[in-house]
Structure 1
């Protein structure tokens, strides 16, 4: 076999010398060439290696190769396709006596049929506009042309409907490889004025054919350096049109000794391009819907890191990639009364605009329910009723409408954190100086099941703790299950959550470390670093339900404001405290609690009692002896409200401090 290998090396040299029939017999050794090969053909080194591999296989087997025909598209002869048939003849003893090689050009009809088949199989597999354009170029070159490009309107790339050709801007989005370095590259805007012949032809929806270099130079005058290959001999431009829209154009070039395009080539390229145009338009329409869904999704999320008295937060959102539609993942940070804050993360079933719209309705509902200061488990119960209503509105069956949600509240005064889950993974918690761990939270059923309770969990957080709320897209991928993903998240939080490290940086690092493959589901991540109110900024008292204590409450309030150097606020605050404590004694019940909280820019006053009856603001008539207390409180404060507690209710007010505090 060594001699055969030597002869194969010689054969490769002969193939590169262009003439197969004039090779000396001593160079070929035991190899014979079929006399049917009557044309000299120049093969590249890569093509010669392909033939060589086929020959080695034939010699090793010592028999004719099944399916041994090898098709070659050669850049030196675009529009032509050559077949090399390799077989081995046996002699006595089973050793191969000769190898027959037949090199012949495929018939044009067969070549075009095969090319159409490849176009149908390879173009349109992706909903990415750029990928679809590149697939089109890869089909055209080298089987049909030496070089090819796809130029599309900027509006098409954005998913919009394009303008008329004379007003549209066209950008190069795909080129064949290798592409000459001196020509316009991918991403460049084509420098074509509105009166350019190419634009005028495209406006009429007709192909443009140039069959000589002189014609090309004259038609593209002023742009030859950037747009015309150095040895270009023929140019064919076919419009990419679909559903009555002109999306762009395909340029096909033949260079050097290649034959010029003819009328049959024009019709053939139009057939390929017309099919590809539908794929490009499908990708454009998908891009439009995907962009709209992502824009809507992002508009419904907090737009910047939130820095509150209770916590500092940062959120990350990444839509699904590739062909997956955007989903209904979201997160939210909702300020509550008395400096408290709520953290929310959720995931709506399904993808696309419908899921995003449902997410928007749910987020609005949660913000409304949060304004009522409901406990997390009660809030999720009300949200569950909403999802059931949405399911009924969508057709009554309830199928396809559902969501998971995690709702967390945190109080910086008591450092109490309460949470409940509706089918959502538990949050990760990193306490200062401790390893990251997941909160021991029993998730209830997903939203939309109905008539099932949600179990709250309460924990106390040291100042500087970091909570990580996330959706399953962050921890569940094709290459690992949910448990593995959660374990990876826990280990990475252990490393990344260091005191002083910015939360946005931690979030970006967590998302950047995910596998490079596009996610099949959205990713939502909310990080929160909790703070605690200093003990010197809060004070509270408890009184019996006796009208005589109202004076004591005013005096204590006045003394505390003096200690905080807020004497200028004493008159208004004493009046507010007097009205609220009086109402608590008259309409509520013992014990009556009074708490003052001093923040950087606001003074908060809270009065609690044992009654669960909510106060009602009304305007008293001139003859009424009462009913003006809450009206006065509302006029003297910037905000006020009431929330239920386990023992009754709390009425709270806020007054701006401004620059009065030292």
Structure 2
């Protein structure tokens, strides 16, 4: 136990070693120090007294008067009490307590016990007791002052005289406003008046200088009433404890906590740097700049810092002055630091440094950087810290901290604090950089995998939008596609891969390629999704790892996707669709009524086990199909049901164009920072009338081939397509001959005039022809070879009741 004044009988600073009985108690009333005089007076040795509550030690349980007397003393009142001796007897003493502080700065009470005031004939002993009390108070190292009811100084301890720089005689009779500078004096004076009025002790903190030449500090002030024997507050005791270090430590801890919670909230490099500057300015420095390597902003992996002159890009800056008058550059500008300057050395070594502006390093910097030297002189900068922003063994940039308004220079403790802030901010900056790089990579990959332009087709007018998510999880795997099919049909596709990031984007690209491949085979929507589901299941089994397996689904989560596949036929004016765990499309009639297609969605792709049902409906010319992913209609503020209802209301509104509808839907349905990707595909359907389609039923007779050629020639002449007649007749002749010879009746021929001339021959056989090279003496096998040579493309489309062989013939000069 180390006390403010040793309670040793050999202490030279006690005026009378034998008379006073001294005890030190903490704020809970527990004995923390015990003098030899107390042992002589009460019989308790230090080992029996220290650690015990004062009231229990002196027998407060034997009567309530003793406990009340001790509580009164600890409250600052002088009293007389009968205290228990160790031998069981009672000792009458006069008690008084004084504020105290031990060697570790903890608040204590010094309790002085003396015999009661003697009768007049014992005047000499009374004078000795008073002299002892005066000596104890005068030598108290804690700043304590006593004021009368007029708020004029009466006494001042040694600690008060030392802190205020005045003697007790100089302060006697002065008001507190004459002793303490403003604004401290006003707070103390207001508290003194309240304590005189209420009689209640007050404790508060003030910040400032106790005298003009003293450094600024933080003080814990206690104002207590001193009562006369009648219980009235006649005097005031004002004590102060310097808690500057504790206050600064608490401020540093609070600042570090704010750095941990408020830096790195957006995963944006510039914003993260600005968050650091905003926190440091005003709390640690007067002006802050944060400069980062230029490579961080160009998507290049940072390398160990070079030596010599360096060029950094200003990422953030902040000042306690309005308008940032100290700033030489704006965020985004490049700032050059000559070699051997503190920032250049900091970037090369990764070590922080603390400077006064009179240091040789700052003077040398000022000589080679006249603009910065002028700023230092203009604003009176007197202290500078250079802090590296270092993360994962690479210095990403440098932060400069200046002081000019605050008179105190930076200290070594400030440097350690700034280094910790810089280290935490650097990790946040690096995380933001890595996130930005990964997001840009994923976005670039996704854009390269999404259709750059929509293929030309006549079945529908289309418009599309895609908006990536703005979250830490990264981009999702939403996609859309428009695939021209045979017979002037078109396939509309939207899908959504579960998960985010590069792997989701790569999975999206694989699925889109697979859908296009299966669409070229002309599979019905339900069959196409079945084949796609099998493909995803096989890929997932081949690539399965513990890291990609979901504990809930027991499948690789980044190979699960939803998909909606819709085929529109402008000739039959029908739509055929199937869905794998995806929301149905919205169908808008030309009259403006909106409904959602009654598709029964199957399970998402990758789960397997259930079939996909196909849904069909008639689509009038000029109708609108809206295909979308759940990111457009589902969010944190509304569920899927309410999102679909909102989409229905907005689709009912008239619009000038599909592009305007897309813009309106994204502007009204999506938040500023969407939590999930959103894809939208709109298609206004078209229909081919009788002037664009011709159909013939042919008998299964080889002689019908000539009739078919004649009918086609006459129709092409009516369509003003005589230049295409020779090629069309050749293609029709070969296809009809193949159907009659190798197929089964009925046989049907159909011509469709669109962007190309489409020739289709149907028969009820399920056998598909294959292109092969005929040998020299073969009588057949050259028909399809001729069709492949003269047609732009050809293929086979299977149906439940047969097959259709089709070929597209180019129209000269854009005759369509």
TM-score scaled by structure 1?
Answer: 0.82
Deviation digits for residues 119-165 of structure 1, max 9, x if unmatched? 33433455333343233223322221012122222332455322545
Q: Distance in 2 between matches of 1:459 and 1:89?
A: 92
Deviation (angstroms), 1:338: 2.6
Deviates more, 1:517-526 or 1:260-269: 260-269
Mapping of residues 96-115 of structure 1, within 5 Å: 106-107=244-245, 108-115=248-255
Instruction: Identify the match of residue 562 of structure 1 among 704, 707, 717.
Output: 717
Secondary structure of 1:288's partner? helix
From the CA coordinates, give the structure whose radius of gyration is larger.
2
Task: Give the structure 2 partner of residue 379 of structure 1.
Answer: 528
Choose between structure 1 and 2 for higher RCO, CA contacts under 8 A separated by at least 6 residues.
Answer: 1
Deviation (angstroms), 1:357: 1.7
Task: Give the structure 1 partner of residue 256 of structure 2.
Answer: 116
Deviation (angstroms), 1:502: 2.9
**Is the CA contact (8 Å cut-off) linking 1:572 and 1:636 kept in structure 2?**
yes
Deviation (angstroms), 1:635: 0.8
Task: Give the structure 1 partner of residue 348 of structure 2.
Answer: 203
Deviation (angstroms), 1:286: 2.0
Q: Distance in 1 between matches of 2:471 and 2:515?
A: 31
Instruction: Identify the match of residue 549 of structure 1 among 678, 690, 704.
Output: 704
Structure 1 residues 245 and 576: CA distance shift in structure 2, 3 A: same
Mapping of residues 574-613 of structure 1, within 5 Å: 574-600=729-755, 602-613=756-767
Q: Distance in 1 between matches of 2:451 and 2:410?
A: 57
**Is the CA contact (8 Å cut-off) linking 1:564 and 1:661 kept in structure 2?**
no
Structure 1 residues 42 and 258: CA distance shift in structure 2, 3 A: farther
Instruction: Identify the match of residue 570 of structure 2 among 373, 398, 412.
Output: 412
1:190 and 2:313 matched: no
Instruction: Identify the match of residue 293 of structure 1 among 425, 442, 446.
Output: 442
Task: Give the structure 1 partner of residue 782 of structure 2.
Answer: 628
Q: Distance in 2 between matches of 1:147 and 1:529?
A: 59
**Is the CA contact (8 Å cut-off) linking 1:149 and 1:174 kept in structure 2?**
yes
1:655 and 2:812 matched: no
Deviation (angstroms), 1:578: 0.4
Mapping of residues 395-410 of structure 1, within 5 Å: 395=544, 397-400=554-557, 401-410=559-568
**Is the CA contact (8 Å cut-off) linking 1:80 and 1:144 kept in structure 2?**
no
Deviation (angstroms), 1:582: 0.4
Q: Distance in 2 between matches of 1:428 and 1:410?
A: 14
Structure 1 residues 123 and 582: CA distance shift in structure 2, 3 A: same
Secondary structure of 2:252's partner? helix
Task: Give the structure 2 partner of residue 221 of structure 1.
Answer: 370
Task: Give the structure 2 partner of residue 520 of structure 1.
Answer: 675
**Is the CA contact (8 Å cut-off) linking 1:430 and 1:436 kept in structure 2?**
yes
Task: Give the structure 2 partner of residue 391 of structure 1.
Answer: 540
Q: Distance in 1 between matches of 2:626 and 2:398?
A: 49
Deviation (angstroms), 1:370: 0.6
Task: Give the structure 2 partner of residue 303 of structure 1.
Answer: 452
Deviates more, 1:246-255 or 1:174-183: 174-183
Q: Distance in 2 between matches of 1:191 and 1:180?
A: 20
Task: Give the structure 1 partner of residue 792 of structure 2.
Answer: 638
1:172 and 2:172 matched: no
Q: Distance in 2 between matches of 1:114 and 1:494?
A: 54
Deviation digits for residues 243-262 of structure 1, max 9, x if unmatched? 22221111212113533334
Q: Distance in 2 between matches of 1:525 and 1:89?
A: 77
Secondary structure of 1:176's partner? strand
Secondary structure of 2:302's partner? coil
Deviation (angstroms), 1:461: 1.5
Deviation (angstroms), 1:478: 0.9
**Is the CA contact (8 Å cut-off) linking 2:286 and 2:405 kept in structure 1?**
no
Q: Distance in 1 between matches of 2:220 and 2:501?
A: 50
Deviation (angstroms), 1:452: 1.0
Instruction: Identify the match of residue 276 of structure 2 among 124, 136, 139.
Output: 136
Mapping of residues 69-88 of structure 1, within 5 Å: 82=218
Mapping of residues 524-539 of structure 1, within 5 Å: 524-539=679-694
Deviation (angstroms), 1:505: 2.8
Q: Distance in 1 between matches of 2:251 and 2:801?
A: 85
Deviates more, 1:151-160 or 1:570-579: 151-160
**Is the CA contact (8 Å cut-off) linking 2:476 and 2:500 kept in structure 1?**
yes
Structure 1 residues 206 and 446: CA distance shift in structure 2, 3 A: same
Deviation (angstroms), 1:273: 0.9
Q: Distance in 2 between matches of 1:560 and 1:84?
A: 105
Structure 1 residues 377 and 119: CA distance shift in structure 2, 3 A: same
1:451 and 2:609 matched: yes
Deviates more, 1:436-445 or 1:298-307: 298-307
Task: Give the structure 2 partner of residue 362 of structure 1.
Answer: 511
Secondary structure of 2:419's partner? helix
**Is the CA contact (8 Å cut-off) linking 2:310 and 2:337 kept in structure 1?**
no
Secondary structure of 2:650's partner? helix
Task: Give the structure 2 partner of residue 13 of structure 1.
Answer: none
Deviation (angstroms), 1:193: 6.1
Structure 1 residues 561 and 139: CA distance shift in structure 2, 3 A: same
Query: Where do 5+ consecutive residues of structure 1 fail to align?
Result: 1-20, 28-34, 73-78
Task: Give the structure 1 partner of residue 27 of structure 2.
Answer: none
Deviation (angstroms), 1:420: 0.7
Query: Where do 5+ consecutive residues of structure 2 fail to align?
Result: 1-144, 152-159, 165-178, 209-214, 546-553
Deviation (angstroms), 1:217: 4.3
Structure 1 residues 250 and 377: CA distance shift in structure 2, 3 A: same
Deviation (angstroms), 1:327: 1.4
Deviates more, 1:147-156 or 1:467-476: 147-156
Structure 1 residues 344 and 150: CA distance shift in structure 2, 3 A: same
Instruction: Identify the match of residue 483 of structure 2 among 329, 334, 338.
Output: 334
Mapping of residues 3-152 of structure 1, within 5 Å: 82=218, 106-107=244-245, 108-152=248-292
Deviation (angstroms), 1:42: 7.3
The RMSD of aligned alpha carbons is: 4.1
1:424 and 2:582 matched: yes
Deviation (angstroms), 1:549: 0.7
Deviation (angstroms), 1:359: 1.6
Deviation (angstroms), 1:591: 1.5
Structure 1 residues 503 and 156: CA distance shift in structure 2, 3 A: same
Q: Distance in 2 between matches of 1:649 and 1:412?
A: 19
**Is the CA contact (8 Å cut-off) linking 1:372 and 1:643 kept in structure 2?**
yes
Q: Distance in 2 between matches of 1:158 and 1:476?
A: 35
Structure 1 residues 486 and 98: CA distance shift in structure 2, 3 A: farther
Task: Give the structure 2 partner of residue 256 of structure 1.
Answer: 405
**Is the CA contact (8 Å cut-off) linking 1:553 and 1:578 kept in structure 2?**
yes
Deviation (angstroms), 1:313: 1.9
Q: Distance in 2 between matches of 1:659 and 1:90?
A: 112
Deviation digits for residues 385-426 of structure 1, max 9, x if unmatched? 112112212338524231111001112222221111111111
Aligned length: 614
Deviates more, 1:450-459 or 1:480-489: 450-459
Deviation digits for residues 216-246 of structure 1, max 9, x if unmatched? 7435323567999744333322121212222
Q: Distance in 1 between matches of 2:332 and 2:258?
A: 29
Secondary structure of 1:659's partner? helix
1:274 and 2:396 matched: no
Deviation (angstroms), 1:649: 1.1
1:504 and 2:659 matched: yes
**Is the CA contact (8 Å cut-off) linking 2:478 and 2:495 kept in structure 1?**
yes
Structure 1 residues 299 and 615: CA distance shift in structure 2, 3 A: same
